[in-house]
Structure 1
Amino acid sequence: MLGSVSIETSDAWQRPGPTAEQRRLDLYAGLAATALALFSLTLARSTGAFVLGPPPSGLEQVLWTVAVPLPLIWRRRFPAAATLAVSAAFVVSQVRAVPEWQLSSWALFAAVFTLGAWGRDRRMSRRLRVGVIAVMFIWLGVYYMLSYGKITGNAFADAVGPVPPVLALIVNGVLVNGLFFGFAYFFGETAWLAARRQHEVAQQAERLRRSQAEAREHAVVGERVRIARELHDVVAHHVSVMGVQASACRRVLDKDPAKARLALASIEESARTAVDELRRMLGVLRARDGAPDRAAQSAGIDQIDAVVDRAREAGLRATLGVYGEPMPLPESVSQAAYRVAQEAVTNVLKHATGASLLDVRVRYLAQEVEIEVTDDGRATRPTNTDGLGLVGMRERVATHGGALEVGPRTGGGWRVRVRLPLPVAAGRLA
């Protein structure tokens, strides 16, 4: 029976020791079992039912009766030692014919069960339990052998079954003890396996909690990056344009008041546009249902001409060329194209020394849209890969699986070229 028990455990895991509360419960349970064993001994002595033979002295009976259940006080703290102590005391009490055996038997059951449920060394725990059970069956055999010679001729006078009485007695004893120890072994393994699975569930729950916390943290970081990128694109562009226009206004304020008024009007318009874009962006950020109004959406590729117009107002000879047949683009692609063009124009206004010509080209190709911004300034700008503007462009392009080229042109000046792939539904083949 014992060999048929299926054990699906992992010897690598060790069950944590008992808590302080569990140790207190073991103390109370061990003392209660000892008290009940003494009460059972009193009842056995009172009935004179000495089934194991003539008992020893009363003091020895008390000592062995206490010795069997008392180690249960440490059953979960030291399960192996407690099992050995209970087993040894049980066998000796049986050999000495102590009349109390009912509570002692259940103490032995509890010790074997606890060793299976709490033994930290699984291999040693199994071997020790099998060894204890084997010793108990050996003792059972020895007891039957010693008792066989004491059987009187009329001991089975009332037997009526088909099985010989002695054989029936032996089979009954083996069957009862087999079920007794088999259940102790099986339930111990089951309790240990349940504890291991509970530990695994707790670990999985902790990993899930950490994963959710990391996901929330990444989402927060991603949202902060997105907000920072949007703020940079909106504020940097318009402030740069206003800075250029304010400089022009200062130079012509006394000489040509008409041009100065025109520059001031452009500054006013740029400020108003910047505020409108900030309001649109905040509208998108505040939207909770994921579907904000169209008025709250950011600008798209069809508004690149406004960026070029502001560059003209800043004093550049700016041109815009659209090549290919314009087609509806996904909102995210359209916004990315606009922001990249806006940032490229901002960089021309801020960094292009001596630039007078700005050329912006939008190309609608079969499977992608291309934005190219060039100027004729002196190519003295360092390629700062850590700049917020360039980082923002790279992030936007990478989000859509596109390609970004930034660097000086062969004939002088600077080029920013972006290719954004189009979904199949937006392409010409759709």
Structure 2
Amino acid sequence: MHEGWQRARPDARRLRIDVGIGVVVTAVTLLSLTLTRSLGYFAFGRPPSLAEQIMWAVLGTLPLCVRRRWPDAVAIFVSATFIAGQIRHAPEQQLTSGALFAAIYTLGAWGRDHRRAAWIRGGIIAAMFVWLGVSYLIALPALSAAEFAGADGPVSPILAAAVNGVLVNLLIFGFAYFFGEVSWIAEYRRHRVEEQSAELLAAKEEESARTVLHERLRIARELHDVVAHHVSVMGVQASAARRVLDRDPARAREALTAVEQSARTAVDELHRMLGLLRLQPGGAEDSPEAAVGLERVQELLDSVRNAGLQTSLGVYGEAVDLPESLSLAGYRIVQEAATNTLKHAGATKLDVRIRYHADELELDVADDGHGPARRKPGGLGLIGMRERVAAHAGTLETGPRTTGPGFRVRARFPLQRQRSA
């Protein structure tokens, strides 16, 4: 779980704090050495010269100034100095023992390679217990019964001293190892929390971007469906008015009236849809008031007929109540197919058939135009058809008719009818 992760190096502020701590601890150690000499308390026997005593005190504590910069080297150096000072009977052992504890802790908490840090700490602790055993063996022959004159207990004084020394050192080194490990794991967990938070934030931003893109595509599709049909009808009617303006003014006025009506309808639908997009996150498809459906296909075909195209509508099977989204999708597909016929096909007839099968709704729109040669397969209209069909787990077929000239659009949507009890 922790493989490959390294704790970040300490910042400049922490490094400055370490220098201050190291200097203060060294100064206090020298004060302790002075007090020990003044008491004449030399637990390990006759001490070396004053200069050497000062040297061991400084070497055992001053490296704490760089304990987080080079934790491996400091732990090894301080532990070696501690053992060497005991061998030389350096009298100051209290502060140097604390420095050894701090060095082992720091190695566990800040070691760059956690696995290596564990091995080094284990090696230092093992070396300390080996030295403890050796020191007991060296001191044992020099012990006499007079030194334990006040002993009163069930355990041998020598055994009691050995067990006590082992227990004390186990506690000291065990705590140093344990708290270093706890600090490292806490930092690792904090790092993982920050990493997961960043991942969640990135995922949220990505989802927001996808939502915005989806909404833009939906708005573009709706604008296309609402505007393209009416503009196409207007274009056809305006063209007809231009052709007959001189020889048949009445018919031209009729065509221009249809253009005016289509323009008003397009503007009304645009205002309604844009107003809903401003007020509702879901847009026009989420509002029953703005929704159109298959029940209005006849109105759609009437506008196409006014543009000069013969139309027919057939509804087959037992009609069922459709979900608003499905009814709207069906209407938009018929609308887009009719718009493409007006714009590209050069057709004279448009045939729309709506079939309600047992478990399927089928929409079939065909014309008698010039086929796909004048179509734009990559256009937004066909893309919108595919998206609407896919959103309802349906299928879409587009292409030339198999019998006679023309183009055909066939969409199938699965239905779930209410079953009688």
TM-score by length of 1: 0.93
Q: In structure 1, how many angstroms separate the alpha carbons of the residues matched to 2:30 and 2:316?
A: 102
Q: In structure 2, how many angstroms separate the alpha carbons of the residues matched to 1:78 and 1:65?
A: 20
Contact in 2 for aligned 1:34/1:69 (Cα 8 Å): yes
Give the letter for the 1:48 counterpart: G
Q: What secondary structure, in the 3-state scheme, does the structure 1 residue paired with 2:142 have? A: coil
Give the letter for the 2:13 counterpart: E
Q: What secondary structure, in the 3-state scheme, does the structure 2 residue paired with 1:68 have? A: helix
Given the alignment, which residue of 256, 262, 266 partners 1:270? 262
Q: In structure 2, how many angstroms separate the alpha carbons of the residues matched to 1:63 and 1:398?
A: 83
Q: In structure 1, how many angstroms separate the alpha carbons of the residues matched to 2:11 and 2:300?
A: 70
**How far apart are residue 311 of structure 1 and its match?**
0.7
Could you list the runs of 4 or more consecutive aligned residues of structure 1 that deviate by over 6 angstroms after TM superposition? none
The answer to whether the aligner puts 1:85 opposite 2:77 as a matched pair is yes
Per-residue CA distance 1:83-104 (angstroms, 9 max, x = gap): 1111111111111222211111
**How far apart are residue 124 of structure 1 and its match?**
2.2
Given the alignment, which residue of 140, 149, 153 partners 1:157? 149
Q: In structure 2, how many angstroms separate the alpha carbons of the residues matched to 1:339 and 1:26?
A: 73
Q: In structure 1, how many angstroms separate the alpha carbons of the residues matched to 2:84 and 2:27?
A: 20
Given the alignment, which residue of 274, 277, 289 partners 1:285? 277
**How far apart are residue 313 of structure 1 and its match?**
0.3
Contact in 2 for aligned 1:383/1:407 (Cα 8 Å): no
The answer to whether the aligner puts 1:137 opposite 2:129 as a matched pair is yes
Q: What secondary structure, in the 3-state scheme, does the structure 2 residue paired with 1:407 have? A: strand
**How far apart are residue 147 of structure 1 and its match?**
2.1
Alignment of 1:179-218 (within 5 A): 179-218=171-210
Range with bigger deviation, 47-56 or 340-349: 47-56
Contact in 2 for aligned 1:359/1:375 (Cα 8 Å): yes
Q: What secondary structure, in the 3-state scheme, does the structure 1 residue paired with 2:112 have? A: coil
Q: In structure 2, how many angstroms separate the alpha carbons of the residues matched to 1:269 and 1:429?
A: 45
Contact in 2 for aligned 1:363/1:370 (Cα 8 Å): yes
Q: What secondary structure, in the 3-state scheme, does the structure 2 residue paired with 1:155 have? A: helix
The answer to whether the aligner puts 1:236 opposite 2:228 as a matched pair is yes
Provide structure 1 residue ranges, at least 5 long, that are not aligned to the other structure.
Answer: 1-8
In structure 2, the residue matched to 1:38 is 30
Structure 1 pair 344–287 and aligned structure 2 pair: CA distance change class (3 A): same
Per-residue CA distance 1:150-207 (angstroms, 9 max, x = gap): 3243211111121111111110000000111111112222222222222222211111
Give the letter for the 2:301 counterpart: V
Structure 1 pair 291–404 and aligned structure 2 pair: CA distance change class (3 A): closer
**How far apart are residue 120 of structure 1 and its match?**
2.4
Q: In structure 2, how many angstroms separate the alpha carbons of the residues matched to 1:77 and 1:164?
A: 46
The answer to whether the aligner puts 1:413 opposite 2:387 as a matched pair is no
Q: In structure 1, how many angstroms separate the alpha carbons of the residues matched to 2:170 and 2:99?
A: 16
Range with bigger deviation, 122-131 or 160-169: 122-131
Contact in 2 for aligned 1:281/1:296 (Cα 8 Å): no
Structure 1 pair 114–297 and aligned structure 2 pair: CA distance change class (3 A): same
Q: What secondary structure, in the 3-state scheme, does the structure 1 residue paired with 2:313 have? A: strand
Q: In structure 2, how many angstroms separate the alpha carbons of the residues matched to 1:76 and 1:365?
A: 77
Q: In structure 2, how many angstroms separate the alpha carbons of the residues matched to 1:133 and 1:62?
A: 25
The answer to whether the aligner puts 1:351 opposite 2:344 as a matched pair is yes
In structure 1, the residue matched to 2:352 is 360
Q: In structure 1, how many angstroms separate the alpha carbons of the residues matched to 2:271 and 2:209?
A: 26
The answer to whether the aligner puts 1:370 opposite 2:362 as a matched pair is yes
Identity fraction in percent: 56
In structure 1, the residue matched to 2:314 is 321
Q: In structure 1, how many angstroms separate the alpha carbons of the residues matched to 2:321 and 2:76?
A: 82
Structure 1 pair 429–38 and aligned structure 2 pair: CA distance change class (3 A): farther
Contact in 2 for aligned 1:233/1:339 (Cα 8 Å): yes
Alignment of 1:49-60 (within 5 A): 49-60=41-52
Q: In structure 2, how many angstroms separate the alpha carbons of the residues matched to 1:166 and 1:110?
A: 30
Give the letter for the 1:264 counterpart: L
Equivalent residue pairs, number: 419
Contact in 2 for aligned 1:281/1:298 (Cα 8 Å): no
In structure 2, the residue matched to 1:297 is 290
Range with bigger deviation, 21-30 or 87-96: 21-30
Give the letter for the 1:258 counterpart: A
In structure 2, the residue matched to 1:25 is 17
Q: What secondary structure, in the 3-state scheme, does the structure 2 residue paired with 1:373 have? A: strand
Q: In structure 1, how many angstroms separate the alpha carbons of the residues matched to 2:63 and 2:336?
A: 80
Contact in 2 for aligned 1:49/1:99 (Cα 8 Å): yes
Give the letter for the 1:313 counterpart: N
Range with bigger deviation, 281-290 or 248-257: 281-290
Structure 1 pair 409–428 and aligned structure 2 pair: CA distance change class (3 A): farther
Contact in 2 for aligned 1:75/1:114 (Cα 8 Å): yes
Give the letter for the 1:391 counterpart: I
In structure 1, the residue matched to 2:324 is 331
**How far apart are residue 429 of structure 1 and its match?**
6.5
Alignment of 1:74-113 (within 5 A): 74-113=66-105
Q: In structure 1, how many angstroms separate the alpha carbons of the residues matched to 2:24 and 2:376?
A: 79
Contact in 1 for aligned 2:277/2:283 (Cα 8 Å): no
